Amino acid sequence: MHQEPPAQQTQQAPKQVIIVQSTKSVGVAILLSFFFGPLGMFYSTVSGAVVMIFANLVAVFLTLGIGLVLTWPIGMIWAARAASAHNKKLLTGVN
């Protein structure tokens, strides 16, 4: 009879997965949210943009647009912080 040699167990090194993402410019995030409001926020934060679209709509209807004086800058700050947080997460590797 023909016997096959025992299967050799080889240890493989763990596979390293590298995910490449680009950083987001805080300046671009501010400019986009300044000129386009919540629509410009989609560059830095999708969920934040959706929230601010709703907040701006409420501000327009309840205050006849005067509330945008408050909500527009809040959106700009939120966009800048979101872009900065995205970059920090990429650089530190924390998810």
Q: Show the tokens assigned to 76.
A: 């700009």
| pLDDT(11) > 90 | no
Q: Show the tokens assigned to 17.
A: 């997965």
pLDDT of residue 9: 66
Q: Show the tokens assigned to 52.
A: 């601010």
pLDDT of residue 1: 60
Residues 39-46: what's their mean pLDDT? Answer: 97
What confidence tier does 6 reach under pLDDT thresholds 50, 70, 90? low
Q: Where are the alpha helices (DSSP H) in 1-95?
A: 26-36, 46-63, 68-92
pLDDT of residue 15: 82
What confidence tier does 53 reach under pLDDT thresholds 50, 70, 90? very high
